[in-house]
Chain A
């Protein structure tokens, strides 16, 4: 039981405010009139809707299939009728909409046929697929599909499986009550993950401000005869961050550039383990989750809420006090303000906090950075937030990346300790989104450039061919009347027309070009057509061959095309007697 603990640098100790919401056990939130189940509730591929309006669905029925490997399925949280598959406001700070299946419950809670699976009897690959199709994702808040984290690295033995019950965000208690009330299921679920990963040791990390949860888990582990270690870790935000907890329990530091499995460790949230167990042992996909409803409400409590329940319905259960001005989803350190309470509870909704000006006073005005370094001391990833801030402000995004912007986990410790009250995390999110936007723009620009170059070269080829045809026609015409054709006459004209093909600025040639075809007789024209077709074929062959002209500017390409055209004309002028050259 004695477990050597490590420490991570930085972190803060805000008021935890957890007590109010653990006074009563988990309540089951009533069935709302309508459920709005978004199809995309996780990181990764957007599931496609498998149902349509008017269709009856059973509880647990698949309504959105996983799209790709990093994705997860979505199910009907109850039986009823699909009213619509439409855009509905998402549980996201932007308040944008997302494709949502709207279900009117019939209140009968009729289940699909539930398939119970013993994970030991199936090949691991099948178990992972099963978890994906049961919609098991990380319920700590990141909602990363769990099955995609359940493959050990090939080169590294899996040493430790870390089960995260730290729950370091203030106000939040959903994992706490889950561990208190359903410890057995969590402990049973851990075996699934341990077996899939082949982990040698299981460490369950719980912040020491939750002694009841520690005791409950400890008892359950003993009762079920497992050798897992339940470890109380010091309460310090963000001890519940996956990387911080791994560090505290194993001493390993997982850099942003690596997967934790590459260091022989993997981490799952207790609620995730619980849903995985329900999925395998009872055939129940993820249909609900525990949500802490707390803050400025009369009755703070944890509720088991069906996914898709409008937040407005859930919030009403806690009876918000009259001075409530806003609601946050997630904790006060990393959460966001809910723009619209019509948004549904989703897999990522771990906590809803009613906020009042008294509870969350408005931010004092932002002052200039005085480089005091408090943020650097608080940063659990040992970054230099003030440097990142200067660079982000100056839009020097290259420098922000050089200073490891993408190692930032946006935990908010830096903003919390800043004496100048600078919303540092906001600057970092801004910088990240700008970098992503630029990346996308660059890709789009590259694609557009390639498209433009393809079109250019095609047009130039066509122009050149046209010029050739015209030249042939005139050659045919002159050769028809004057068999001893010389080079002197014809090239002059096509040169003009090729220049036109290239720059379009010299306008004297069109009259010549237009005049040319009108003159020739039928047979000459036919001959010219044949020669031109042969010429085209030759040009095609040539263009199919790789050249050292792949990365040229448009101007260079035009020049080359003009020269080619000229050469083609010259070549064809001398070709008829000479035969294929070069």
Chain B
């Protein structure tokens, strides 16, 4: 290869992988803030555990693969994965569960596939999916809302020093809704449930609705900063709302409103931080729309009709599989070739 000197000589100093990743982390802060305020400060500990595990795993894998440690450790991609894992796992999950998830994500889903930029699947979603399949009980123990635990008590729970008390056997609002409907066997309808049960708030899960609103805020900021494209989130929100809306209009007693679904579970986090992952997502404009839309549809289907409390992780992983196909069929026409000549 003839080594031409590299144009352009004008480097755009304000763009780098690290900058992209740091902005994603910053965009997660409003959601994390609401989480700490409304759910409990234990999430901070989980974030710390996940971050440490991710950085250690990253360093280990980089060393094994003979890659420069400093350059890749500081790119921030491992931290983004770690934070997403911490935010999707139950906040009082034992420390080893989140560590196992993070190791799976960094070692298997990321580095065994070739590291940064090479992973076909979203590492955080691999972690979630693997853990919910392997440890279903632990993964569905959410703190009962209004559970007043001191920070020390929360620490003891996470590190296994205290027994996992009954107070933990709460469920996510989505899960609660599904379970209540099942138990009610048609004698109970959603509007009554939402109005009577303590787990539900103004328009979705109590507390959680504001956490997800925080994600929405961060996501919009990312879009405004041009870190993410609008197509995938828009597609996801459309896919989820259209299906949810159609069923809700048909039978509002059996199906919750699109608003409820958008602000429950992993929908907002998924829309702005998961389906927008450029590495495992589609690269074409139309592809991103399709990717987001189908992910939304599948996520809704799994969370309402499936056996799991939420379906975002499985929907994203399924769509990750389809990325090469979607990309191939949505390649945009190039300059001068738009009339198909």
**9-residue interface stretch from B2-10, B141-149, B171-179, B202-210:** B2-10
B15 touches A419 (CB 8 A): yes
Is A380 part of the contact surface with B, judged by Cβ < 8 Å? yes
List B contacts of A14 (CB < 8 A).
8, 10, 12
In the bound complex, what is the Cα–Cα distance between A253 and B336 (angstroms)?
A: 4
Cβ 8 A contact of A367, one of B12, B13, B75? B75
In the bound complex, what is the Cα–Cα distance between A247 and B335 (angstroms)?
A: 10
Q: Mark B300-341, 1 if CB is under 8 A from A, else 0.
A: 000000000000000000000000000000011111111001
Assuming the A-B contacts A367-B75, A372-B20, A381-B334, are A335 and B283 also in contact, with contact meaning beta carbons closer than 8 angstroms in the complex?
A: no
Is A182 part of the contact surface with B, judged by Cβ < 8 Å? no
B16 touches A421 (CB 8 A): yes
Cβ 8 A contact of A386, one of B11, B77, B283, B335? B283
B9 touches A360 (CB 8 A): yes
Cβ 8 A contact of A336, one of B5, B10, B77, B337? B5
Closest to B77 in A: A370
Closest approach, in angstroms, between the C-beta of B298 and any C-beta of chain A? 22
Is A529 part of the contact surface with B, judged by Cβ < 8 Å? no
Cβ 8 A contact of B117, one of A335, A369, A387? A369
Closest approach, in angstroms, between the C-beta of B20 and any C-beta of chain A? 5
In the bound complex, what is the Cα–Cα distance between A433 and B12 (angstroms)?
A: 27
Closest approach, in angstroms, between the C-beta of B146 and any C-beta of chain A? 42
Assuming the A-B contacts A373-B283, A433-B2, are A383 and B10 also in contact, with contact meaning beta carbons closer than 8 angstroms in the complex?
A: no
Is A80 part of the contact surface with B, judged by Cβ < 8 Å? no
A384 touches B335 (CB 8 A): no
Assuming the A-B contacts A419-B19, A420-B17, A421-B11, are A368 and B6 also in contact, with contact meaning beta carbons closer than 8 angstroms in the complex?
A: no
A376 touches B283 (CB 8 A): yes
Cβ 8 A contact of A365, one of B13, B71, B117? B71
Cβ 8 A contact of B12, one of A337, A384, A417, A429? A417
**9-residue interface stretch from A142-150, A254-262, A301-309, A548-556:** A254-262
B7-42 with Cβ < 8 A to chain A: 7-13, 15-17, 19-20
B8 touches A333 (CB 8 A): yes
B279 touches A416 (CB 8 A): no
Closest approach, in angstroms, between the C-beta of B300 and any C-beta of chain A? 27
Cβ 8 A contact of B115, one of A12, A360, A368? A368
A426 touches B118 (CB 8 A): no
In the bound complex, what is the Cα–Cα distance between A404 and B334 (angstroms)?
A: 8
List B contacts of A333 (CB < 8 A).
7-10
B262-284 with Cβ < 8 A to chain A: 278-279, 281, 283-284
Assuming the A-B contacts A255-B337, A371-B117, A384-B283, are A93 and B5 also in contact, with contact meaning beta carbons closer than 8 angstroms in the complex?
A: yes
In the bound complex, what is the Cα–Cα distance between A258 and B6 (angstroms)?
A: 29
In the bound complex, what is the Cα–Cα distance between A481 and B15 (angstroms)?
A: 98
In the bound complex, what is the Cα–Cα distance between A407 and B335 (angstroms)?
A: 8
Assuming the A-B contacts A337-B5, A373-B229, A373-B283, are A360 and B10 also in contact, with contact meaning beta carbons closer than 8 angstroms in the complex?
A: yes
Is B116 part of the contact surface with A, judged by Cβ < 8 Å? yes
Is B133 part of the contact surface with A, judged by Cβ < 8 Å? no
Is A574 part of the contact surface with B, judged by Cβ < 8 Å? no
Closest approach, in angstroms, between the C-beta of B120 and any C-beta of chain A? 11
Q: Mark A7-25, 1 if CB is under 8 A from B, else 0.
A: 0110010110000000000
A236-284 with Cβ < 8 A to chain B: 243, 247, 253-256, 258
List B contacts of A416 (CB < 8 A).
8, 10-12
A370 touches B335 (CB 8 A): no
Closest to B341 in A: A255
Is B183 part of the contact surface with A, judged by Cβ < 8 Å? no
Cβ 8 A contact of A415, one of B8, B17, B116, B336? B8
A367 touches B71 (CB 8 A): yes
B1, B13, B278, B334 — most chain A CB neighbours (10 Å): B334
In the bound complex, what is the Cα–Cα distance between A425 and B75 (angstroms)?
A: 24
Assuming the A-B contacts A253-B338, A419-B16, are A368 and B117 also in contact, with contact meaning beta carbons closer than 8 angstroms in the complex?
A: yes
Is A355 part of the contact surface with B, judged by Cβ < 8 Å? yes
Closest approach, in angstroms, between the C-beta of A448 and any C-beta of chain B? 25
List A contacts of B9 (CB < 8 A).
328, 332-333, 335, 353, 355, 360
Closest to A404 in B: B334
Assuming the A-B contacts A361-B13, A367-B71, A419-B19, are A255 and B6 also in contact, with contact meaning beta carbons closer than 8 angstroms in the complex?
A: no
List B contacts of A387 (CB < 8 A).
283
In the bound complex, what is the Cα–Cα distance between A379 and B231 (angstroms)?
A: 19
In the bound complex, what is the Cα–Cα distance between A66 and B337 (angstroms)?
A: 35
A416-461 with Cβ < 8 A to chain B: 416-421, 423, 425-426, 429-430, 433
B229-280 with Cβ < 8 A to chain A: 229, 278-279
A364 touches B8 (CB 8 A): no
List B contacts of A426 (CB < 8 A).
4, 6
Cβ 8 A contact of B331, one of A336, A363, A384, A412? A384
List B contacts of A337 (CB < 8 A).
5
Is A3 part of the contact surface with B, judged by Cβ < 8 Å? no
List A contacts of B332 (CB < 8 A).
382, 384
Is A32 part of the contact surface with B, judged by Cβ < 8 Å? no
Is A571 part of the contact surface with B, judged by Cβ < 8 Å? no
In the bound complex, what is the Cα–Cα distance between A381 and B12 (angstroms)?
A: 21
Is A170 part of the contact surface with B, judged by Cβ < 8 Å? yes
Q: Mark A86-101, 1 if CB is under 8 A from B, else 0.
A: 0000000110000000
In the bound complex, what is the Cα–Cα distance between A335 and B13 (angstroms)?
A: 19
Is A334 part of the contact surface with B, judged by Cβ < 8 Å? yes
Q: Mark B64-99, 1 if CB is under 8 A from A, else 0.
A: 000010010001010000000000000000000000
Closest to A365 in B: B71
B335 touches A243 (CB 8 A): yes
B11, B15, B68 — most chain A CB neighbours (10 Å): B11
List B contacts of A94 (CB < 8 A).
2
List B contacts of A380 (CB < 8 A).
335
In the bound complex, what is the Cα–Cα distance between A355 and B5 (angstroms)?
A: 13
Closest approach, in angstroms, between the C-beta of A304 and any C-beta of chain B? 25
B7 touches A332 (CB 8 A): yes
A384 touches B8 (CB 8 A): no
In the bound complex, what is the Cα–Cα distance between A409 and B159 (angstroms)?
A: 59
A256 touches B336 (CB 8 A): yes
Closest approach, in angstroms, between the C-beta of B118 and any C-beta of chain A? 7
Closest approach, in angstroms, between the C-beta of A464 and any C-beta of chain B? 49
List A contacts of B13 (CB < 8 A).
361
Assuming the A-B contacts A363-B6, A370-B117, A416-B8, are A253 and B278 also in contact, with contact meaning beta carbons closer than 8 angstroms in the complex?
A: no
In the bound complex, what is the Cα–Cα distance between A438 and B65 (angstroms)?
A: 34
List A contacts of B284 (CB < 8 A).
376, 384
Closest to B20 in A: A419
Cβ 8 A contact of A370, one of B116, B334, B341? B116
List B contacts of A370 (CB < 8 A).
17, 20, 77, 116-117, 278-279
A412 touches B8 (CB 8 A): yes
List B contacts of A254 (CB < 8 A).
336
B6, B7, B19 — most chain A CB neighbours (10 Å): B7
Pick 15 A–B contacts, CB within 8 A, sort by A: A94-B2, A247-B335, A332-B8, A337-B5, A367-B16, A367-B17, A367-B116, A371-B278, A373-B278, A381-B336, A382-B335, A384-B283, A384-B331, A404-B334, A429-B4
Interface residues of A (CB under 8 A from B): 8-9, 12, 14-15, 93-94, 170, 243, 247, 253-256, 258, 328, 332-337, 353, 355, 360-361, 363-365, 367-374, 376, 380-384, 386-387, 403-404, 407, 412, 415-421, 423, 425-426, 429-430, 433
> Nearest 3 pairs between A and B by C-beta?
A255-B336, A368-B117, A337-B5
Interface residues of B (CB under 8 A from A): 1-2, 4-13, 15-17, 19-20, 68, 71, 75, 77, 115-118, 229, 278-279, 281, 283-284, 331-338, 341
